[in-house]
């Protein structure tokens, strides 16, 4: 299909959705049906007012209609995920590379420095556990070129606490129902099946099995406020269905009640832990002094960590930027030029802010035209990036300081906005210009030097109004969605 034909098909698909978005009566009917379907199918979150109680829940924010996604981009993201799994795992094993890349960052970023200190200490003491479990999510946008063509460009790869796999498993049924109510059963049948909760659980279950103790449990290491608990419960339920015991605890509880035996096996209240699945620990506010001590204890243990501290460090934006340099991917995937090509094709422009001539050039470029870029700190989770005029303000303040090495600069991806309706509890319904972000889950398990599982574990589409620069579903900006392939 030529690019012109692709554009025509995209316009036709947009026109189909416009029938509902432009008709007030149809819109009202669809909104009622959508909200009830979300409740019926379990697309649920706790409320802001009561984040730790399930007496009152409401539907998680989601789009009224599935958003159009170029089929070629979706297939590309799915095909490259196993390559990214291999890359993340290989980089996590390179102490030399991580030290080289992060040395400048740890001098100016206390959070990364603390993670790196634990990493070095555990390395020095000796890694007890040869089983490595990775559950990641690689996030992309669809760059719209001046000629109307669309290309897949990576935003980041999340190596810790990649969320919404549970709720993403339930949203396809909601949009199928909405499209049927809309009188579009054929389009409803094209909504892709998706079950990340099952795929993520299979990775955890495989690691639990390799650990070798039927009496041992899986620990979900969770935040103090658990508004998104039901997303996690879907993964948890998959494990209980396999007769694998799951316990949920916070850092402080592990600090108070956790211990290691002489073989470094981790016990909490006498319960042996086979796998630690981190759904917390990805940002500075997750940690107190006591919590850092608990993180060290868990890293020192024989339990399988998801992720281990090295894999979490691979998710740093500075690592992402350095991997994009010419020749670096080839060092980590030396016998796999096809994988290198697939990965590199998803990269957008990534630039260092290191002290020196190259970093000075990056600073000057960003200050002169800040709207072309995104300034990114070494953080997981939404809401941390800096855009537009704020980039100029920040860089003018720190351009002569080593503090700038806490950031990288990335080209701002320019997707084509589409119209949709974002449904949030308690918010008036309105049609908005929106952009979408596609995530692909990766699931891998390595035992020693042998990769025993390497899979793409389903997808996640999140959509937000173009008036919001940054932030995900948990941050209250984006909403859950499904891809409608065009």
SS (H, E, C) 382-435: CCCCEECHHHHHHHHHHCCCHHHHHEEEEECCCCCCEEEEEECCCCCCCEEEEE
Res 384: pLDDT: 86
Report the alpha-carbon distance of residue 306 to residue 133 in Å, rounded: 5
Catalytic residue, chosen from 67, 85, 104, 163, is: 163
Active site residue 317: yes
462 is catalytic: yes
Q: What is the pLDDT of residue 8?
A: 45
Of 82, 176, 279, 462, catalytic: 462
In this prediction, the residues of the chain whose per-residue pLDDT falls under 50 are: 1-15
Catalytic, out of 46, 67, 92, 156 = 156
Query: Which residues, other chains included, contact 331 with Cβ-Cβ below 8 Å and sequence gap of 6+?
Result: none
- Please identify which of the residues 249, 305, 317, 404 carries the catalytic annotation: 317
Q: Are 353 and 408 spatial neighbours (Cβ–Cβ below 8 Å)?
A: yes
What integer pLDDT is reported at residue 471 of this predicted model? 56
- Structure-token pair, residue 239: 């494990």
Choice among 176, 376, 379, 464 that is catalytic:
376
**Active-site option among 35, 82, 137, 227:** 137
279 is catalytic: no
Q: Alpha carbon 41 to chain centroid distance?
A: 23
The pLDDT value given to residue 16: 52
d(CA 76, CA 82): 11
In the annotation, is 156 catalytic? yes
Q: Are 464 and 432 in contact (CB under 8 A)?
A: no
Collect all residues with Cβ–Cβ distance below 8 Å to 286 and sequence separation of at least 6.
223, 251, 280
Which pLDDT value is given to residue 478?
Answer: 94
The structure's pTM equals 0.95
* Active site (annotated) includes residue 342: no
Q: Which of 120, 349, 381, 419 is catalytic?
A: 381
pLDDT at 431 (0 to 100) = 94
Q: Which of 158, 194, 286, 482 is catalytic?
A: 158
pLDDT confidence of residue 206: 98
Give residue 124's pLDDT: 96
**Active site annotation includes 379:** no
Alpha carbons 397 and 191: distance in angstroms, whole number: 48
pLDDT the model gives residue 177: 98
- Would you state the pLDDT for residue 146? 87
What b/e readout covers 226-236, taking b as 16+ CB neighbours within 10 angstroms?
A: bbbbbbbbbbb
- Residue 177, CA distances (Å) to 37, 187, 257 in order: 7, 11, 47
Please report the pLDDT score of residue 381 as a whole number.
62
What is residue 358's predicted lDDT score, i.e. its pLDDT? 97
Q: Measured at the alpha carbon of residue 101, what is the angle toward residues 470 and 161, in degrees to the nearest 5?
A: 45
The three-class DSSP label of residue 265 is coil
Span 305-326, pLDDT tens digits: 999 999 999 999 999 999 999 9
257 is catalytic: no
What pLDDT is stored for residue 19 in this prediction?
82
What pLDDT is stored for residue 7 in this prediction?
46
Q: Is 243 a catalytic residue?
A: no
Structure-block tokens of residue 176: 């199928």
pLDDT tens for each residue of 228-268:
999 999 999 999 999 999 999 999 999 999 999 999 999 99
User: Is residue 158 annotated as part of the catalytic site, yes or no?
Assistant: yes
């Amino acid at each position: 299909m030529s690019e012109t034909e692709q554009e025509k098909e995209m316009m036709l698909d947009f026109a189909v959705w416009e029938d509902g978005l432009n008709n007030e009566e149809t819109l009202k009917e669809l909104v009622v049906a959508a909200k009830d379907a979300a409740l019926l199918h379990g697309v649920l979150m706790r409320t802001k007012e009561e984040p730790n109680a399930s007496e009152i829940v409401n539907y998680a924010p989601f789009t009224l209609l599935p958003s159009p996604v170029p089929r070629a981009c979706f297939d590309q993201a799915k095909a490259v995920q196993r390559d990214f799994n291999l890359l993340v795992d290989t980089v996590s094993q390179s102490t030399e590379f991580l030290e080289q890349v992060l040395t400048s960052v740890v001098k100016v970023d206390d959070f990364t420095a603390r993670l790196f200190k634990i990493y070095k200490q555990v390395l020095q003491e000796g890694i007890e556990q040869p089983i490595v479990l990775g559950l990641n999510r690689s996030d992309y946008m669809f760059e719209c070129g001046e000629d109307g063509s669309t290309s897949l460009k990576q935003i980041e790869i999340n190596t810790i606490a990649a969320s919404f796999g549970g709720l993403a498993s339930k949203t396809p049924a909601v949009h199928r129902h909405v499209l049927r109510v809309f009188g579009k059963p054929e389009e409803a049948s094209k909504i892709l099946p998706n079950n990340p909760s099952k795929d993520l659980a299979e990775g955890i279950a495989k690691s639990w099995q390799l650990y070798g103790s039927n009496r041992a449990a899986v620990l979900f290491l969770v935040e103090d406020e658990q508004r998104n608990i039901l997303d996690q419960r879907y993964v948890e339920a998959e494990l209980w269905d396999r007769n694998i015991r799951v316990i949920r605890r916070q850092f402080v509880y592990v600090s108070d009640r956790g211990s290691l035996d002489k073989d470094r096996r981790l016990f909490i209240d006498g319960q042996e832990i086979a796998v630690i699945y981190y759904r917390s620990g990805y940002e500075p506010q997750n940690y107190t002094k006591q919590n850092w001590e608990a993180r060290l204890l868990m890293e020192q243990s024989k339990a399988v960590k998801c992720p281990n501290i090295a894999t979490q460090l691979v998710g740093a934006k500075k690592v992402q930027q350095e991997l994009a340099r010419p020749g670096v991917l080839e060092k980590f995937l030396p016998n796999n030029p096809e994988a290198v090509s697939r990965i590199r094709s998803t990269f957008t422009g990534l630039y260092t802010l290191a002290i020196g001539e190259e970093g000075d050039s990056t600073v000057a470029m960003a200050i002169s035209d800040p709207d072309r870029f995104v300034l990114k700190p070494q953080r997981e989770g939404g809401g941390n990036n800096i855009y537009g005029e704020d980039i100029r303000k920040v860089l003018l303040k720190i351009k002569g300081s080593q503090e700038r090495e806490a950031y990288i600069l990335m080209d701002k991806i320019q997707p084509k906005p589409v119209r949709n309706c974002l449904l949030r509890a308690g918010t008036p319904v309105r049609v908005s210009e929106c952009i979408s972000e596609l995530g692909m889950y990766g699931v891998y398990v390595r035992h020693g030097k042998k990769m025993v599982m390497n899979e793409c574990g389903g997808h996640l589409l999140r959509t937000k109004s173009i008036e919001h620069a940054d932030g995900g579903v948990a941050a209250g900006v984006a909403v859950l969605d499904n891809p409608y392939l065009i």
